[in-house]
Structure 1
Amino acid sequence: MNKIQIIGVGDDGVEGLTNHARAIIETADVLVGPANLLPKIAIGPDERIESGSDLHRLGETLRELSSRNVVLLAGGDPLFYGTARFLCDALGKDQFEVVPHVSSMQLAFARVKESWDDAYLTNLATQPLDRVVERIRTADRVGLFTTEEITPSALAAALLDRRIDYFNVYVCENLGSPDERVTQGDLSSLQGQTFGALNVMVLVRRQGVADRPQQMEGKRLFGNPDDQFLQSKPKRGLLTPMEVRCIALAVMDLGPTSIVWDVGAGSGSLAIEASQIVNGGQVYAIEMDAEDFGLMTDNAERYGCDTLIPVHGQAPEALAALPDPDVIFVGGTGRAVGELVDQIFDRLRPGGRFVVNVASPDNLVGVQTAFQRRNIEPSVRMVNIARGNYQLDRLRFEAVNPSFLISGTKP
């Protein structure tokens, strides 16, 4: 089988190609590419196939042409938010050779003379607008590919709606072509303007602007004080204490795209803080008590947790339809925590972390036994915290109920 050559092309078409890229195109049997790129390539074979927007269909087309010498055209760097990423995952990296062009994102940052090595880069075609807006809120520099639906004007309106008005903005159109244009201004000036479809938007935070929005002052990524979470009065004190939460989140070893279960989430303090760390994954917070479930949804709304999904139900039945997790946290106050660990352990992905917080020695033994049945030696921490209180002119310490954190990694 011949390898498919993926060639990156700029807006300047043939003129911007290297001699190596030209030679590959000229020896091809068939040229495949988007409708806007094929006319720009005057060299190469007469047989040409439009790739269209359906990447699955494109993969089938390439399979059908596998016996021929095929060149696939792609805009800019095909591996930077391009078709090559999808195709290499779908068909296998060994099926392709990639010859990149300068990415339009690189060109955009070059035009506005800003470094992009620590910028937040994203594509509005693949990310929800709300999530992108929240990531922009705390970024210093941002580079975005917009879409026909979410234009630079629409994104500017969404940012201003959320009082994010502290960026200088550049819209870079048709980069590398004769009709290249860069529009500079603030977000307000973009509203109502129209731009070409081939654009990159760059946002640069003005110096001296605070990192945190006003409505989030006093709220932390994790380790928020217990009294910032709504709790039902009869059950007050059952919330995972702030210090234990911090240790548990560290032991859970979360990544930005982790899938997390918080089983027995209560009013959601740990799930909310986990979701603020897992900004590209999902946190499923499972709670059977109707009052606590309602408080959890209220707390999640106050913290703006767009990666938290509340699940009203009882484990293990409520877990059946959920995706297999990378991390499971169980807050155990019931008598059958060890049995629950046994019932749901197989759902944890290989290499995943299981962390359990219990208050009683009996539950500690039950969870240890469940881990050991899986040939996992659990790591056990006893967390005993005392908080200082001033009484008249003296400092006294008030103990928080001690608890145990049991953790293990699935082989």
Structure 2
Amino acid sequence: MRHFFGIDDEEYIRGDVPMTKREIRMAVLNEARVQEDSYVLDVGAGTGSISIEAALGAPKGHVYAIERFTKGVELIKANMAKFNVSNMTVIEAKAPEGMADLPALDAIIIGGSAGGMDAILDEAERLLKVGGRLVVTAVTMETGYTILKALKNRPFTYDGYQMQINRFRKAGPYHMLNPLSPIFIVTAVKQAEA
């Protein structure tokens, strides 16, 4: 059965670890073009919400989730058990160190770089297949700038956008808008070397 992206946020085991919200996950996974046999890497996986949905969308593929914090790794494993995900490997490391032994990938999603964007992109460039997709999210303008600067002079075509989500919230007999933080999403496609 085909998985449609967009599991409700409340379904995930969270703790106090940041989690990519449902609407953003849907956009990111669509940009990554996850297919049933995709090999995907999620860098800075947090609770594993993107990794879990990618794994559910790629039942014949495999997902690697890199997370540097132990409490995040524990949450990812708890969510793997909750959603019965077995085609996923959790790597407790700070990227790019955890990327060294990975196979060729169809998509790489970066939700956190801990200041190491250039080194992570070096590994992403090495690991992505030609035509593979890199999707990077940023909640700060500085990270958005860092992504664009780091992509220059690399074999990628890229574009991006800023997304602002407002959810309905009941207020008595009315509905109001409850805003989520804006986010930048940059998508890059690896090109053949010249």
Q: TM-score, normalised by structure 2?
A: 0.91
Partner residue, 1:265: 45
Partner residue, 1:226: 9
Sequence identity, in percent?
27
Letter in 2 for 1:224: I
Unaligned runs of 5+ in 2: none
**Per-residue CA shift, 1:167-219, capped at 9, x if unaligned?**
xxxxxxxxxxxxxxxxxxxxxxxxxxxxxxxxxxxxxxxxxxxxxxxxxxxxx
> Residue 107 of structure 2 contacts residue 134 of structure 2 at CA under 8 Å; is this kept in 1?
yes
State the shift of 1:345 in Å. 2.1
- Cα distance in structure 2, aligned partners of 1:318 and 1:240: 21
Greater RCO (Cα-Cα under 8 Å, separation 6 or more): 2
> Residue 333 of structure 1 contacts residue 359 of structure 1 at CA under 8 Å; is this kept in 2?
no
Alignment of 1:101-140 (within 5 A): 138=1
Alignment of 1:195-274 (within 5 A): 221-233=4-16, 235=17, 238-274=18-54
Partner residue, 1:351: 131
| Larger-gyration structure (1/2) | 1
- Cα distance in structure 1, aligned partners of 2:102 and 2:157: 27
> Residue 68 of structure 2 contacts residue 92 of structure 2 at CA under 8 Å; is this kept in 1?
yes
Alignment of 1:119-198 (within 5 A): 138=1
The 3 A distance-change label for structure 1 pair 360 and 344 is same
- Cα distance in structure 2, aligned partners of 1:318 and 1:339: 12
Letter in 2 for 1:281: G
Partner residue, 2:167: 387
> Residue 132 of structure 2 contacts residue 190 of structure 2 at CA under 8 Å; is this kept in 1?
yes
CA RMSD of aligned residues (A): 1.8
Partner residue, 2:112: 332
> Residue 265 of structure 1 contacts residue 287 of structure 1 at CA under 8 Å; is this kept in 2?
yes
**Per-residue CA shift, 1:208-264, capped at 9, x if unaligned?**
xxxxxxxxxxxx74201111111123x3xx211100100111110122111110011
Partner residue, 2:144: 364
| Residue 85 of structure 2, aligned match among 282, 299, 305 | 305
**Is 1:290 matched with 2:90?**
no
Letter in 2 for 1:228: E
- Cα distance in structure 2, aligned partners of 1:306 and 1:255: 17
**Per-residue CA shift, 1:283-331, capped at 9, x if unaligned?**
0111111011001001011111121111111211111122121110000
